[in-house]
Structure 1
Amino acid sequence: MKNISSSFFDPIQQTRYIGSENYRKVEHYLEALQALTKLYDLSFYIVDYYKKSFHYVSPNPLFLSGYSQEEVMNLGYDFYPLCVPSDDLELLLLLNKTGFNFFYNLPVSRREKATISYDFRLKHKGNQSVIMINHKLSPLILTDDGNIWMAICLVTLSTRKEPGDVHIIMQDDKTRYNLNIEEKVFEQVKIKKLTNREKEILRYIAIGISTNAIAKKLGISDSTVKNHKTKILKKLNASTSAEAVFFASKQNLI
């Protein structure tokens, strides 16, 4: 029976030989990332697709799920069948396959610009309690021929109730692609126009004005402002107001 963990590497195109000299060349880069861990207490890890392992795992306990930093390093992708519920694991395998199909269809010059984001659950080793996390994966180092060598994965708590919200953001132009699970393909999101009132409210949000203060400025109720916020998030496919402001500013919508 095939190991589930190895299935994560099936979509990866064969990489040319990467020797110890290549690893020494990038070690200073990776050391800088590790230093950031100590400074900001980030939860992240680095995947080595050539060795099919974790190159580094930060000591932040969020991703570790009750295991030690060393244990997760040694487990590598065997960590996932242990700590991810079966339904979520199926989702991860699907988005992994479709995500790399998307990646390899990009021009080599744009492959480093793609970041995939998704939410899934993690089970704690000891008490089996479950948390929902957001997981963002970005290519960190590509080989000379444009294949993925290393990727950085940033882990944060998610506010969503269900796993999913799988999407890719191209960092050069902020184009968003959502995963169509039935068709097993990423589809570009068409931007819906904001009304003048929605733009006005989003500009106030961007400078940190509260819902109550916005309502007073515009002479409307708090609930009306909240309704506008909900519509804005839906139109921009954003999960938070900060994300909506960021996306709208990059797309020159406000």
Structure 2
Amino acid sequence: MTDVKDFFIASNTVRNAPDYDSKVLSTLIHTVEAFARVTYQSVYLIDYYKQEFLYVSDNPLFLCGHTAKEVKELGYSFYSKHVPEEEQKMLVELNSSGFKFFDTFDDVDKYQCSMSYHFHLNSGAKSKLINHQLTPILLTDEGKIWIGMCVVSLSSYKTVGHVEFHKKGLCNYWRYSFESHWWKECKGVLLKEEEIEVLRLSAAGLTMTEISDRMCRSLDTIKFYKRHAFEKLVVANITEAISRATLNKLF
């Protein structure tokens, strides 16, 4: 069983106490709370100096039967309790390699970066594969990630891992290999504007016929755009396509 201290190593530990301005942190928490309330996203904030959760939204997606307050109090021991042991080792490795990779960017660029990965959460006999997207919110004066925000969603994959590192504005991204323990730069997915529009309208709940009318294209043309988007994203259905497009920042 992974110990909580295993999640906090040199690459993601803040040594010097940051300025805990109560007004700044209160505004931050209220902002994220409003975002979670309006979007009904599952969100939490991590304090890497105090090594605890600063905020946990009450969306039940990743709470495993706990209240948001209970998960906040559990902190990283929540993962020791609800993540399969072999996958805990994966998360520990990501904490090390991911934060080292963050440190290769300058402070301004760090705010444009995010890391995405997939793992299981167990709640009793039930298990669900989820996705975490982690991004910095506040940095210390030394450029270390002080407060990070994580958005939790159901995974569009069928297996764990699939670790990706994205920087806003770049088409290419980096994928982490657990075999070589290294980040490899990969060519990003490029969708045509029409393909993106089909996915965007599908996400809004429109049928293919309605999308055809909205875009003033034939139904066969809409199906052509959809098929090509699926091929580029390597997915089998519209739910996976929307999720994968979101992860790749195509919307």
Separation in 2 of the partners of 1:44 and 1:201?
31
- Find the counterpart in structure 2 of residue 130 from structure 1: 127
Give distance in 2, aligned partners of 1:39 and 1:8.
31
Distance in 2 of aligned mates of 1:232 and 1:97: 31
What residue identity is the alignment partner of 2:176?
Answer: L
Where does residue 17 of structure 2 map in the other structure?
Answer: 17
1:43 partnered with 2:46: no
SS in 2 for 1:17: coil
**206-215 or 75-84: which moved more?**
206-215
What's 2:57 paired with?
A: 58
Q: Distance in 1 between matches of 2:247 and 2:157?
A: 19
For residues 63 and 52 of structure 1, what CA distance do their matches in structure 2 show? 19
- For residues 77-123 of structure 1, the C-alpha deviation after alignment (integer angstroms, 9 at most, x for no partner) is 11111000112212211222110110111122211111111111101
TM-score, normalised to structure 1, is 0.79
Cα deviation digits, residues 51-86 of structure 1 (max 9, x gap): 011111111111111112222111111111100011
Shift of 1:41: 2.5
2:39 and 2:246 mapped to 1: Cα distance?
Answer: 24
C-alpha deviation, 1:150, in angstroms: 0.5
SS of alignment partner, residue 34 of structure 2: helix
- Deviation sequence 1:14-71 (CA, Å, 0-9, x none): 4322254x34433212222123333332211110000011111111111111112222
- 1:202 maps to a residue whose letter is E
Match of 2:166 in 1: 169
For residues 170 and 120 of structure 1, the distance between their equivalents in structure 2, rounded to whole angstroms, comes to: 22
Alpha-carbon distance in structure 1 between the residues aligned to 2:37 and 2:200: 30
**Counterpart-to-counterpart distance in 2, 1:140 and 1:154:** 12
Could you tell me whether the CA contact under 8 Å between 1:233 and 1:241 is conserved in 2? no
Aligned equivalent of 2:144:
147
Structure 2 residue identity aligned to 1:55: L
**Percent of aligned pairs sharing the same letter:** 28
Q: Which residue of 2 aligns with 1:94?
A: 93
Q: How does 1:184-203 map to 2 (within 5 A)?
A: 184-191=181-188, 199=192, 202=195
Q: Which residue of 1 aligns with 2:33?
A: 34
Q: Structure 2 counterpart of 1:228, which letter?
A: H
Structure 2 match to 1:180: 177
CA-based RMSD of the aligned residues comes to 3.1
Q: In 1, distance between residues paired with 2:233 and 2:195?
A: 10
User: What secondary structure, in the 3-state scheme, does the structure 1 residue paired with 2:138 have?
Assistant: strand
- Normalising by structure 2, we get a TM-score of 0.80
Instruction: Give 5+ residue unaligned stretches, structure 1.
Output: none
For 2:143 and 2:177, locate their aligned partners in 1 and report how far apart those are by CA, in whole Å: 26
Match of 1:78 in 2: 77
Shift of 1:200: 8.2
Q: 1:7 aligns to what?
A: 6
